Structures are given as C-alpha cells and as structure tokens.
Amino acid sequence: QVHLVESGGGVVQPGKSLRLSCAASGFNFNNYGMHWVRQAPGKGLEWVAIVSYEGSKTYYTNSVKGRFTISRDSENTVYLEMNNLRPDDTALYYCARARGIFWFEKLLSPDFWGQGTLVTVSP
Amino acid sequence: QSALTQPPSVSGSPGQSVTISCTGTSGDVGGYNYVSWYQQRPGKAPKFMIYDVNERPSGVPDRFSGSKSGNTASLTISGLQSEDEADYYCCSYAGTYSFVFGTGTTVTVL
C-alpha cells in the first residue's frame, strides 16, 4: 500500500534553512506528481507546492515563492528546501501524492498523505 | 490564493444528514470540476474522501457525497455516525497547477 514518511523537521531560528524529506513506497513513484501541504498549529490546511512526476515542473503558493524549492530524486524521495524561514512558516508539513499518474490537471488532487513533520521557527 | 470559505462547525444527531459548504470564486471552485474533500481526525493525517466534485475513492462509504453549484461546492454526510466526527476540508484546483484549501469545518455528532 502507499506509504509516505516525512522527516527533517525541527526547531530553527528565523532566517535559517531546513530541508524536509518524504520517502515514498508502495507505488510507482516515478509516475506521480507530489505535493507538500502544511498545517499551522490549530489551523487549517495550506497547499505549499507541487512537483511533476519527472521533476521538471514545480509550482508554489505565493507566500513561499523564492524561498522554498520542491524537488525529487529517482530513489523515491521528494524534498522541500526551505530558506529564509519565518515564524509564520511554523507548521506540520505533510507530503501527499497526486491521485493520478503523469501530469494532467484533472489527476493532481492529493490523495494519500504522510503523517507529517513539524517545523518550528522561533528565535 | 485566498482560502475557500467553509462554516466553522456543523452538527447533527446520529442518522441525520449534514451538509458542509465550500465557497470560492470563478478562479477555483467555479472554474474547475476538481474539488476534493478530506476528513481529518485529531492528531491524524487527512483522509481523501471525495474527488472531482462527486467521486468517491474506493473504501469511502456512500454516505459521503459531493456536489457543486456555481462557486460553491458541498459535502453531504447522510446517516451520520459517531465515527464521522472530525474536521473536513475542501480543496480546489485553482489553475496553473496550484491548489487552495478551505478554512475547515468541524462536524460534531450530538
């Protein structure tokens, strides 16, 4: 079955960097786009970024553009490089799989989710 | 990229039906039939409940149904059960490979 495990979270000072990882298994990783979605403590879900199945296309929510970079490798891992972190980036970060293979708008809604990794940005 | 608007809470007795609305704009909910819904229990990851407005992934009970009219999508839970108590989020495709989530709704079973 689909299994996603996030790691790399922690406590970091404002302005610093952090790289999150998401290890995927149970499906043909190379055929699916992947998302990062975050949830601030006690708040709702916020879509952060998506990477295409082959890694060439990336898209971001406006508040992280120029600071965050989503990428993936051929070993079933997707990454979120986060630079110049701010206190409002504090959240539980989930990775999620796009529901369909390849790259069609219709098939990109997130379906399976990991359990998340917590990022805390604090002085 | 403003969040879609959902009511903060809805409630119902076991066996009743509840409906959660999700209001966006013509740039997201109104412009695409790619609305999905997620159930999130406390301390857990979201669970995929509905996609493409009204389609259910395998394993989701048919008590859960979705619909859309204009810029507003809706999730209806029929025959409410205690296990349905959770937070629910809508999510819409918003063009140019971006997505937007709703503000979330807490469903309480009385």
User: What DSSP string runs through A2-65?
Assistant: -EEEEE--EEE-TT--EEEEEEEESS-GGGEEEEEEEE-TTS-EEEEEEE-TTSS-EEE-GGGT
Which amino acid belongs to residue A39? Q
Picking from A94, A30, A51, A98, the residue whose alpha carbon sits closest to that of residue B51 is A98
Quick check: B1 pLDDT over 90?
Answer: no
Q: Is B101 on the interface with A (CB under 8 A)?
A: yes
Show residues of chain B in contact with A96, CB under 8 Å: 46
What whole-number distance in Å separates Cα of residue B11 and Cα of residue A52? 39
User: B12: distance to nearest CA of chain A, Å?
Assistant: 22
Alpha-carbon Rg for chain A in angstroms: 14
Show residues of chain B in contact with A106, CB under 8 Å: 34, 52
Picking from A72, A65, A63, the residue whose alpha carbon sits closest to that of residue A98 is A72
Q: How far is CA A29 from CA A32, A76, A100, in A?
A: 6, 6, 11
Q: Is B61 on the interface with A (CB under 8 A)?
A: no
pLDDT tens, residue by residue, A66-93: 999 999 999 999 999 999 999 999 999 9
What whole-number distance in Å separates Cα of residue A85 and Cα of residue A25? 29
Q: Residue A44 — pLDDT band, cuts 50, 70, 90?
A: very high
Quick check: B35 pLDDT over 90?
Answer: yes
User: A12: distance to nearest CA of chain B, Å?
Assistant: 23
**Residues in a beta bridge with A19:** A81
Q: Is A82 on the interface with B (CB under 8 A)?
A: no
CA atoms within 13 A on the CB side of A5: 6
- φ, ψ dihedrals at A118, nearest 5°: -90, 130
- Quote the percentage of chain B above a pLDDT of 90: 99
CB contact at 8 A, B20 and B4: no
User: B51: distance to nearest CA of chain A, Å?
Assistant: 7
| Cβ contact A106–B104 (<8 Å) | no
Q: Is A61 on the interface with B (CB under 8 A)?
A: yes
- φ, ψ dihedrals at A51, nearest 5°: -125, 140
- How much is the average pLDDT of A96-110? 92
Q: Residue B5 — pLDDT band, cuts 50, 70, 90?
A: very high
Closest-CA residue of B relative to A34 is B97
Show residues of chain B in contact with A57, CB under 8 Å: 97
Q: Specify the 3-state DSSP secondary structure of A84.
A: coil
Picking from A94, A92, A86, A93, the residue whose alpha carbon sits closest to that of residue A121 is A86
Q: Is B3 on the interface with A (CB under 8 A)?
A: yes
Closest-CA residue of A relative to B42 is A42
CB contact at 8 A, B57 and B66: no
pLDDT tens, residue by residue, B41-61: 999 999 999 999 999 999 999
User: A51: distance to nearest CA of chain B, Å?
Assistant: 9
CB contact at 8 A, B92 and B28: yes
Question: Which residue among B32, B47, B101 places its CB closest to the CB of A47?
Answer: B101
